Structure 1
Amino acid sequence: MARLRQKRPSISGMRRQERGPMDQYGCVRWQPKELPAGETEESLQEMKRQMLQLYAQFGMAGAEKGEFQRWHENTYMLQRCDLNADPPLSISKIKDDWPFLFSLKGLFSHFSELTGISILEKLPAAIEQRSKTIIEYFEQHKTKAVSEVLDAYQEVNGSKAICIILCLLAHFNENGIFLKADILPLCLPMTTPSLFALGVFTCVFVISSCICSPAFVQFIVGEPLSADKWMMSIEGTIVMGPHNNLLNGVAATFSAYYVFNLQYPKEASSTLEFVQRAFCGINSQTGSKAEKRHKLNAPVCTLLRKLLDFELMG
């Protein structure tokens, strides 16, 4: 999967840039051009060093310590310089330089700066508001694949968000995002405990895989809707998790495409664009994060229109 990049700008001499209209990828602060008030290049680099020391001492738990939030927000410009580098830096290099971008707090904070959207507020509220309509629509307009998802879904114990994502994947005849169980060992770092041995139902969200095999909708153990933990894989390596709360996993997966300048994969482009438009409110009229697509996604627009009609008639 290709990564979208711009030429890396220098920090010195950057002029003020106001939060302006969203560009074609829904970003409002793609590359800030003004240093934070009262800061210099040297002070920002010192904040970066302090965060690296924090990570070395506490790991990802450092995101909850001391001055982290202020350091993370103030160094947003430096983060974007590295993320927008041309040629692009590898995910492993980004993780070495900015490890807290792979924490939930750091990832969601960066996404909020980049898009102007608080995804932990927007996504759950939108799914809660629209889930009943979406599930009822699919119950009345079943395909074989959608039926299999709905038959396995248990409203009491199942994840509503994962059910909807699986229904969308089935509806659009896509199979991306989740990792096939027999591919997983190739992605797990040596330090990751055996989830098979632990008997954990874990969902793996695939962002960008260096493995040739396609990423199908499957889980490590048990049925898809039985998962209670999640991990994220980018470029063939697990970079986040295991974590609880599958809805946070959906939010983190979507955020990562924007934060790390990744194109929607062909195997899940319509599903991700539906999440983008219906749940996150990013409704750019031109361009797309899907490869080689510069117009609105017709299947997504059709489903959105049908859902609106279904809701009005209900």
Structure 2
Amino acid sequence: MGDVDRDLAEFIGSVLPNSSSRDLVLETLQSLGVETLEDLKYVQEPDLVNILRPIEARKLIARINALCADNSNSPPSTSSSSESSTPHRPSPVDNNWHFNFEIPWSKMPSEITRKLKNKERPTGRERRELIRLMVAEILTICPSPGKKHLSEISRKIVSTYPQSFRDVIEDQVVGSGYDSLTKQLQSRVDNMRRGKNSLFLKRQTSSASEGEDPPCKMKRVDTYGCINWQPKRLPLNETEDTQKCTQEELKNMHKNKRKNTKSIENKMMATFYTQRSNIISGMETPVLVKEWPYLFEMCGIMVHFKELTGMDVDREAMSSKCKRVISYLISHEKKNKIEDILSGMEIAKAKDLDADLPGCVLLLLKYFSEEQAKMFQLVDETSLPSEVDQLPSTPCIVVCGSSPLTAGHFMIAVDQIIVKDGVTNCGEALLMMFVTYYCLNISYPAELGATLEFMQRCLFKINPDKGTKVEKKESKKQQSVNPKVLSLITNIANFEWRE
């Protein structure tokens, strides 16, 4: 965080010390064009009404006015003192900083240090810890490192400890030898920056002409068809203290493995405001798992999804849609291309396993020529969560077996960590993986874009054009349908099919 951002954050914190919207206020001020404390004098109360409660907005404006009055009453200063009183702007980072970057080996945990000295390979968990520490150090120097920076740092790491980090298969170096390390660093940087990007805000063009409508207040554009992306305030009769109390009750219920589903759902619904605040502020996934464990259980995440989108998932309707899609794809794809999928579906049905949704998704991946490994990571049947490594940063399903159709054990991963173990149904795993994209504000990866968009529009019937009514017109301009997805939806709609 630069000095200017820090000054703004400290000023907001001094006015609103107990507000959960401080990060949101900072992002909004930055999106308005506030670059120094002096720029605050141009901020008006209407700019803040959609992110703060009325009293909070007025308190902030009052303090801004007082700050501006103090500055205007101060005696004029010389040019040199004026320069020293102006908030410092961080100088641009030298684009070749990575050549002088020092690897923070001294900050590594003792067990990792021991393994490196003994030329042993760290476990997946230890390697992720090293990546976290490395990226934290990198971001203190450069807030937006590029691939060339991360690639050079990976090269330095591998050259220092080749036996511990070099990409090797059967004693043969794969690629550069540090591609996987570079990819992990990139994923970690993306994850760290995901929650810190300014929220997308739009303002309609205003005019000073008489007879025209006054300028519209700033409105949030709900993405992906969400209707409650950021609740404006706590529910009635709720305070930050009651929210914290309910959160602790949920953590204790999860720890003690309580089975009272109705109570869990009610408590998750009551604390939805705080969950969204934590997610939007950029709380990291491992912390979310600890603070909101039911957000990674089916009973909890489906409550969050319904509050977020206003939708229940109709499993029976989805099954019927899957059968129609499967029938169309089978009739239009070459049998030799999908033979393994069809045989897997037959085996699953013979074992009374859910074959419709996973079979449909596998056929869609094949139809759109997208990367199955980005959604399904195959591991050994006896693999433990701590043994699973090399996961994508986006949500995926870890399949403990040779096929998603016939396996009996699944795990859900987000941000390269296992967030849910012990799922025994592939359909449930797919459902949980998909809604995770919504609940954690994660964009679809390019490698799965068409398949996920088809699932969104056809199987789940979530239309991103239907956000808030105020921004519906602008939303349609921003959300364009993938032509391949639109073509497939149209063809299936016109397909003569009987269940």
The normalised TM-score by structure 2 is 0.49
Q: Which amino acid aligns with 2:311?
A: I
Distance 1:63 1:7 in 2: 36
Distance 1:283 1:66 in 2: 29
Please, which of 268, 272, 275 is the counterpart of residue 79 of structure 1? 275
The aligned amino acid for 1:25 is Y
Q: CA deviation at 1:294?
A: 4.6
Shift of 1:51: 2.0
Matched with 2:419 is 239
Of the candidates 325, 332, 335, which is equivalent to residue 141 of structure 1?
332
So what's the TM-score if we normalise by structure 1?
A: 0.75
Specify whether residues 129 and 207 from structure 1 end up closer, same or farther in structure 2 by C-alpha distance, changes over 3 A only: farther
Deviations 1:258-301 (A, max 9, x none): 001111112211111111111111122399xxxxx952111111
Match of 1:274 in 2: 454
- Alignment equivalent of 1:177, drawn from 345, 370, 375: 375
Cα distance in 2, alignment partners of residues 138 and 50 from structure 1: 47
1:10-60 Cα offsets, whole Å, 9 max, x none, are 797379xxxx9983311111111132222222211221222223333x1xx
Structure 2 residue aligned with 1:96: 290
Structure 1 residues 92 and 21: alpha-carbon distance in aligned structure 2, compared to 1, 3 A threshold: closer
Distance 2:392 2:292 in 1: 18
User: Are residues 1:24 and 2:220 paired?
Assistant: no
Alignment match, 2:359: 163
Identical amino acids, percent of aligned pairs? 26
User: Match for residue 188 of structure 1?
Assistant: 385
Distance (whole Å) between structure 2 residues aligned to residue 234 and residue 295 of structure 1: 26
CA contact (8 A) 1:146 1:167 kept: yes
* Conservation of the 8 A alpha-carbon contact between 2:227 and 2:309: yes
Question: C-alpha root-mean-square deviation of aligned residues, in Å?
Answer: 3.5
1:25 aligned counterpart, secondary structure: helix
| Unpaired segments ≥5 residues, structure 1 | 1-5, 193-205, 288-292
State how far apart, in whole Å, the 2-side matches of 1:226 and 1:68 are: 32
Measure how far apart 1:125 and its partner are. Answer: 2.2
Q: Which residue matches 1:126?
A: 317
C-alpha deviation, 1:312, in angstroms: 7.0
Q: Tell me which amino acid in the other structure corresponds to 1:302.
A: S
Where structure 2 has 5 or more consecutive residues not aligned to the other structure, the ranges are 1-20, 26-50, 56-218, 468-477
Task: Identify the structure with bigger relative contact order (alpha carbons < 8 Å, sequence gap 6+).
Answer: 1
Structure 1 residues 45 and 236, CA gap change in structure 2 (3 angstroms)? same
**1:309/1:95 CA distance change after superposition, 3 Å:** same
1:260 maps to 440
* Partner SS, residue 230 of structure 2: coil
Structure 2 residue 463 is the aligned partner of structure 1 residue 302: no
Higher-Rg member (1/2) = 2
